[in-house]
């Protein structure tokens, strides 16, 4: 789904810059696309923060491997939950895989 949303975002950007008329036609035929792209961009920031947190945990050499793995497991679960929520939101807006 991420690939589809990125393609939608690129199409919106290109059409808006190159041809406002085609942009208007595209939006009239696909009114939910801007909202889907907005949701993706908002959640992508949260997802990037969680990815950064996971990287920081991996670099915490002062923690035991067991503690580091426990913290990492929680962060990965948060990432997966956020990804699942994004997929469900996109499905609700009619986007399928």
Supply the pLDDT for residue 14: 94
Supply the pLDDT for residue 97: 64
Supply the pLDDT for residue 52: 97
Question: Is-contact 1 95, C-beta < 8 A?
Answer: yes
CA distance 38 to 86: 11
Count of Cβ atoms closer than 10 Å to residue 1 Cβ: 16
CA distance 40 to 34: 10
CA distance 10 to 84: 23
Q: Which residue numbers in the chain have pLDDT < 50?
A: none
Supply the pLDDT for residue 13: 93
**The model's pTM:** 0.77
């Amino acid at each position: 789904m991420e690939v589809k949303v990125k393609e939608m975002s690129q199409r919106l950007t290109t059409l808006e810059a190159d041809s406002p008329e085609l942009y208007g036609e595209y939006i009239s035929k696909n009114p939910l696309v801007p909202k889907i792209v907005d949701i993706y961009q908002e959640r992508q920031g949260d997802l990037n923060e969680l990815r950064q947190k996971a990287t920081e945990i991996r670099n915490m050499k002062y923690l035991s491997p067991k503690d580091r793995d426990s913290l990492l497991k929680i962060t990965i679960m948060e990432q997966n939950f956020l990804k699942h929520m994004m997929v469900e939101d996109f499905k609700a807006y009619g986007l399928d895989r």
